[in-house]
Structure 1
Amino acid sequence: MSSNPTPADAPRKRGRQAKMFAALSVPNFRRYVAGQSLSLVGTWVETVAQALLVLRLTHSGTLLGLTTAARYAPLLLLSPYAGLLVDRFHKRRVLLATQAGLGLVSALLGTSVLTGSVRLWQVIVLAVVFGMFSAVDNPARQAFVQELVGHDLVRNAVTLNSTSVNVARVIGPTIAAMLVSTVGIGWCFVANAASFGFVIASLLSLDVHALHPSAPVQRARGQFRAGLHYAASKTAIIRPLLMMALVGAFTFEFEVSLPLLAEHTFRGSETTYSWLLAALGAGAVGGGLYAAYSARTGVKRLTKASIAFGIAVGLVAAAPNVATAVAACVLAGAASIIFLTTGNSTIQLASEPDYRGRVTALWSTALVGSTPIGSPIIGALSDAAGTRYALLLGTAACLCAAVIGSWPSKPLCDCGVRS
């Protein structure tokens, strides 16, 4: 029997492809993603540059971990309250303010490096300020996606938005390596500062009449506690949050583990770190396209993704050379984006509009707010025992998260989310 596709298969294939990119049919979403994608390239340029700058100044994995922690500590402390702020104000206006603030911080750091006056304490202070703006920006960006496309397309929009993040992760390190080797680290921060202008331009160009805004929540007592209680009362929200907290603290510490793997384990150059990070992003792009194509959410899928992510990170830890580590990073990137988009879509679809800002803020806290806890541990463990053991700790975190996801209990609310 022939296995060649029949004419009837073509419409089905086109239908699946159209579904895969459905959110891009919304003009506002296209504009927003275009601006975000260009800005995210700048973000990854700065991410690479900051790690290399700290290593040049200190040559210490512990101090690299502490500097990374400084950048994300405000998210741990402020994100839950920032989520309430996002619920109370128009998200587009909040984003205009946070993007301008983030651009200013990057410009100040770039100026400090270019003038030769940069010191570690300056990097740490500006990292804290950057984190304060990010604490508000992250939940606002995530909650704004549904206002761009509406409820029916939110799963697809979240996945495509996450995929664009990882396209930037492929491009950004390459540009960073080129800038560092030609004009210097300082211009990486300047490039990121300029990139925030693309997001601001996209926000200003949106058709506000085509948005799907949720009404701002009126100020009242007990709203913060109400948000925590709401999240804890729903299985489709609390389990992904707990899983993300574990994985975010000990597995998603690639800003610390990968530069140390490149420099200390493989004795490579700054380009080696860029290759590892780009491979992670390339895998995430493929994983994101698969996630958009399959369009599944739920705790059960998240549990499977957590196991796959842990195995892939274990392969990175066991890689005998740079080439195999790059290949393993591709697998880790694919598993990571499936884990992220599944968890993010699950909690957004499970939450009511009045609570969405607070719920997505808790997700941001679990994802990047946990970094101040995990990054110093990963850095210190790398210095004490080696980066391979630090990566294996990430594997263990993924497997523990899978236990949380598969722990038997009666669902409190299925909230229309497939598990």
Structure 2
Amino acid sequence: MFSSLKIRNYRLFATGAVVSNIGTWMSRVTQDWLVLSLTHSSAAVGITTALQFLPMLLFGLYGGVIVDRYPKRRLLLVTQGSMGFFGVVLAALTLSGHVQVWHVYLIAFFVGVVTVVDNPTRQSFVSEMVGPKQVRNAVSLNSANFQTARLVGPAVAGVLITSIGSGYAFLFNGLSFIAPLVGLTLMRPGELQKGHTVKRGKGQLREGLRYVKGRPELIAPIVLVGFVGTFGFNFPIWLTAFANTVFHGGAGMYSLFNILIAAGSLIGALLAARRRSTRLRLLIFAAASFGLLEVLVSFSPFVWLFCLVLVPVGMMGMTNNISANTTVQMAAEPAMRGRVMSLYMMVFVGGTPIGGPLLGWVTDTFGARVGFASGGAVTLIAALAIGFVLVRVIGVRPKMGLRNGMPYVELVPRPGSRAEGELASAA
């Protein structure tokens, strides 16, 4: 389960990441509650989330081109330092009493701009630290790392918000980025796998899109996570609304909801770390279960039942995310991995500027229960539709193995399927 931690560079990376991730989750929970307190609007929370992910939608593919051109460790030093700076700025505004909602909007957007490069860099840097045989394990442990921080961060944020104020949570977030910067500095470059960088040239963005086009093993998980990310992962909107208007709790209850989602996500990540292979049917099953559970939990009449179901919601959501992430990384060639992962992240989080305000409006207009159920229903329908298209219409099945000593995953025609007939005709 923890085999990647035997590698020194990855240990440094993971140690720094867990500290900064705790700060990030403290900041996210505090940011959502601050916006709700300033505006009393779930739609405003959705706008904040949308602004943070809008740059990924607008510039995500260009971020992938940058990732493929430059050394990833050097890029991470710049991006992690920038996010720490914005955390300190928001802390200063809040502690001084001058913070306004437009300040939060603006900083959320700037953080999103940095994320355009930071996210695909971190995703693709994993293989350079651990090598191809440990990619799946390292991706799973990264997710476990993130979810462990998600357990701690909201709890600490809830205490800070109710005791000494939101500003100190933002300050901890800004200072927490010192840890990954130290870890990156202490790494031994000679122990990293040789990175693949691409020289500056014309048409590299189109080249990445052409590479993905016509590859069902890449298109299927990317399309699916697009629906899941756009409609299924709007927890800041729904959980603030349930804590505030349905169960009439406060910041402490909102933090509890986040902790329960994180607990389920951590379980899903650790179970994924034990698996030796990724199956497309697991990806479809996890996405469908995730959507169905969101529909069911939205109509929970009791807060204890709502809390209980949040754990499997988090587990299925994380199982889907890790399965999709690993499938895409294994299927992409190293020289294209930055662009492919940027497309993956653009689709996954880039839909939030659409889904966030839309589901925020639904939640404000029709209530938290309808808003939560709507997101889950779209996710469920998308999972079933993509599974049907792959199996029945295209007629493919997943195939995994080793190619030149490198693990790979691809979709091949099922015997007697339309895809097999088209392949035979082309031959």
Q: Normalising to structure 2: TM-score of the pair?
A: 0.91
RMSD over aligned CA atoms reads: 1.4
1:367, CA displacement in angstroms?
A: 1.7
Count of aligned pairs between the two proteins: 400
CA deviation digits over 1:65-90, x for unaligned, max 9?
11211111111111111011000000
Contact 1:113 1:186 in 2 (8 A): yes
What's the counterpart of residue 8 of structure 1?
none
Q: Which moved more, 1:26-35 or 1:342-351?
A: 26-35
Shift of 1:213: 3.0
Change (3 A) 1:146 1:277: same
* 2:375 is aligned with 1:375: no
Distance across 2 between alignment mates of 1:316 and 1:79: 33
**Cα distance in structure 2, aligned partners of 1:418 and 1:328:** 34
Aligned counterpart for 1:417 among listed residues 405, 409, 413: 409
Letter paired with 1:172: G
How far apart are 1:277 and its partner, in Å? Answer: 0.4
Amino acid in the other structure paired with 1:87: D
| Pair 1:169-2:161 in alignment | no
Match among 67, 71, 81 for residue 90 of structure 1: 71
Report whether the alignment pairs 1:298 with 2:279.
Answer: yes
1:17-68 C-alpha deviation (Å, 9 max, x unpaired): xxx2221121111111111011100000000000011011000111111121
Q: Is the 8 A contact 1:242 1:366 kept in 2?
A: yes
Does 2:235 correspond to 1:281? Answer: no
1:263: Cα distance to partner?
0.6
Counterpart CA distance in 2 for 1:196 and 1:239 is 35
Q: Are the counterparts in 2 of residues 316 and 329 from structure 1 also a CA contact under 8 Å?
A: yes
The alpha carbon displacement at 1:292 in A equals 1.2
Overall identity of the aligned pairs, in %: 37
Please name the residue that 1:156 is paired with: 137
User: Match of 1:203, as an amino acid?
Assistant: L
- One-letter identity of the residue aligned with 1:338: T
Counterpart position of 1:5: none
In structure 2, how many angstroms separate the alpha carbons of the residues matched to 1:271 and 1:316? Answer: 20
Could you tell me which of 191, 216, 223 is aligned with 2:172?
191
With 406-415 and 29-38 compared, the bigger mean Cα shift is at 406-415
Alignment of 1:37-56 (within 5 A): 37-56=18-37
After TM superposition, the structure 1 stretch with the greater mean CA deviation from structure 2, 342-351 or 117-126, is 117-126
Give secondary structure in 2 for the equivalent of 1:187.
helix
Deviation at 1:410, TM superposition (A): 4.6
Is 1:221 matched with 2:197?
A: no
Once the two structures are overlaid, the 10-residue window that deviates more, 91-100 or 210-219, is 210-219
Distance 2:107 2:52 in 1: 8
1:240 aligns with 2:232: no
- Cα shift readout 1:98-125 (whole Å, capped 9, x = no counterpart): 0011111111111001111111111111
Q: Which moved more, 1:386-395 or 1:345-354?
A: 386-395
* CA-CA distance at 1:414 after TM superposition: 5.1
| More displaced stretch, 71-80 vs 306-315 | 306-315
Shift of 1:131: 0.5
CA–CA distance in structure 2, aligned partners of residues 204 and 160 of structure 1 = 21
Deviations 1:171-196 (A, max 9, x none): 11001011112221011111000111
Aligned counterpart in structure 1 of residue 340 of structure 2, from 340, 356, 359 = 359
The answer to whether the 8 Å contact 1:233/1:412 transfers is: no
Contact 1:106 1:192 survives alignment (8 Å): yes
Pairs within 5 Å for 1:20-419: 20-402=1-383, 403-407=385-389, 408=392, 409-411=394-396, 416-417=408-409
| Equivalent-residue separation in structure 2 for 1:184 and 1:135 (angstroms) | 30
1:232 CA displacement: 2.1
Whether contact under 8 Å (2:280, 2:398) holds in the other structure is no
- Gaps in structure 1 of 5+ consecutive residues: 1-19
Instruction: Name the CA distance, whole Å, in 2 between partners of 1:397 and 1:350.
Output: 27
How big is the shift at 1:324? 1.2
Counterpart Cα distance in 1 of 2:116 and 2:176: 19
Matched letter for residue 194 of structure 1 = L
Contact persistence 1:103–1:192 (CA under 8 A): yes
Residue aligned with 1:417, SS: strand
- Give the whole-Å Cα distance in 1 for the aligned partners of 2:17 and 2:378: 30
Following superposition, the deviation at residue 413 of structure 1 comes to 8.9
Asked if structure 2 preserves the Cα contact closer than 8 Å seen for 1:348 and 1:360, the reply is yes
Say which is worse superposed, 336-345 or 303-312, in terms of deviation: 303-312
Letter in 2 for 1:229: R
Moved over 6 A (4+): none
TM-score (normalised: structure 1): 0.93
User: C-alpha offsets along residues 216-257 of structure 1, whole Å, 9 cap, x if unaligned?
Assistant: 101121110110111122111111110011110010111221
